[in-house]
Amino acid sequence: MSNSPQDWPEPIVRVQSLSEGGLNIIPDRYIKPPTERPSPKRSVSSASSVDCADANIPIIDLQGLNGNQNTRAATLSQISEACHEWGFFQIVNHGVNSHLLDRAREVWHQFFHLPMEVKQQYANSPKTYEGYGSRLGIQKGAILDWSDYYYLHYLPLRLKDYNKWPAQPPPCREVVDEYGRELVKLCGRLLKVLSINLGLQEDFLQNSFGGQDIGADLRVNFYPKCPQPELTLGLSSHSDPGGMTLLLPDDQVTGLQVRKGSSWITVKPAPHAFIVNIGDQIQVLSNAIYKSVEHRVIVNSNKERVSLAFFYNPKSDIPIEPAKELVTANRPALYRAMTYDEYRLDIRLRGPRGKCTVESLKSPG
Ligand code: OGA
Ligand code: NI
């Protein structure tokens, strides 16, 4: 991309360094406006807060897809309902070995606990975002999120560069490779399910993404302990810009919240589950039958958190627009065509902004 910025507008501060420096108060740069702060915990005696506290995104057993006709139909319909109602669901019995999931979490946990000099060798720039980072967006003076991350390209192959993946801990590259291979397969299966549920040919979404020529990136999020978690967020509210995301959450610490109407629901992860969510590109392709849903991350004063977000995206230079089959006289095309390259420039320049990017694509009239 020719007009990508070369460098950050301000010196980068590692949130982990702030956290480990033993501050009692967080710098102003991380303090969110009052309306964006995590909602205070309400008293458990109020009925509505009990509802919210117990709510969770649906948990779906993918084994059902291999069952008899009835079981398969029931599983497809659970996924359909989750896509309509939540834009988010968890999957268990997804076929990815649970030992691999544990190893992936473990190597990244170890990476973030390497000495700072080692991690700094991978410091990223806004040009490609690959490497060790501490902010999204390049707006000078922006309010920042309480997290560091590591971002790498898994696909397409021409962008895959082991030199930009950590050499430490030693199994890291091998584990990421195997993890990526398994998740690409799983995403392919899920796109078929979504296509069938939309009434399209099972290959429709995969083909719209570019067939085998898709993009896949991993962002590992590290949320350090925070002395004032009520004033900030680990990740501001956003919808994922890409196609579909498979999130491997921390197995000990919750933090992800999903918007449901006017509430924020804290996801309670099932053991060895992935959290699946619809990204903006599927919202566009499905002509908003499926919506990418806003989510955010809250942090804790006494626990750090690690999550692995795997983004499965359309090939970056093909136009993405509503499926012709889903455009009717009663439901005209809601979005104009745009490549994913063009689309993500907005986020890369301005950082996460709720659903502003996908809204701005709306066709006039
Ligand atoms: C993301 C994301 C959630 C989490 O990386 O896009 O939403 O729990 N992460 O870290
Ligand atoms: Ni996200």
Task: Band the pLDDT of 362: cuts 50, 70, 90.
Answer: confident
Q: Quote the mean pLDDT of the chain.
A: 94
Residue scoring higher pLDDT (50 or 142): 142
Average pLDDT over residues 268-293: 98
- The parent domain of residue 155 ranges over 15-359
> Can you give the pTM of this predicted structure?
0.95
pLDDT score for 346 = 75
Whether 193 is covered by a domain: the verdict is yes
Report the percent of the chain where pLDDT is more than 70. 95
Whether 8 is covered by a domain: the verdict is no
**Neighbouring residues of 313: CB distance < 8 A, sequence distance ≥ 6:** 209, 214, 215, 216, 217, 242, 243, 279, 281, 340
Closest residue to atom 1 of ligand 1, CA basis: 309
pLDDT score for 1 = 43
Closest residue to atom 3 of ligand 1, CA basis: 256
Whether 124 is covered by a domain: the verdict is yes
pLDDT score for 364 = 56
Which of 22, 18, 16 has its CA nearest to residue 222?
A: 16
pLDDT of 98 > 70? The answer is: yes
Q: In the chain, how long is the greatest CA-to-CA distance?
A: 61
- For ligand 1, whether the C-beta of 255 sits within 6 Å is yes
Helix axes 69-85, 172-197, angle to 10 degrees: 100
Whether 105 is covered by a domain: the verdict is yes
pLDDT digits (tens, 9 = 90+) for 71-81: 999 999 999 99
CA of 239 relative to ligand 2 center, distance in Å: 6
pLDDT score for 41 = 63
Specify the CATH number for the domain of residue 342. Answer: 2.60.120.330
pLDDT score for 51 = 56
How many CB atoms neighbour CB 99 within 10 A? Answer: 9
Whether 4 is covered by a domain: the verdict is no
pLDDT score for 211 = 96
Closest residue to atom 5 of ligand 1, CA basis: 309
- Total of domains in the chain: 1
Average pLDDT over residues 243-265: 97
- For ligand 1, whether the C-beta of 307 sits within 6 Å is yes
Identify the weakest region by mean pLDDT among 16-25, 44-53, 85-94: 44-53
Whether 219 is covered by a domain: the verdict is yes
Whether 1 is covered by a domain: the verdict is no
pLDDT digits (tens, 9 = 90+) for 193-227: 999 999 999 999 999 999 999 999 999 999 999 99
pLDDT of 297 > 90? The answer is: yes
Whether 2 is covered by a domain: the verdict is no
**Does the CA dihedral 280-281-287-291 come out positive or negative?**
negative
Average pLDDT over residues 6-27: 96
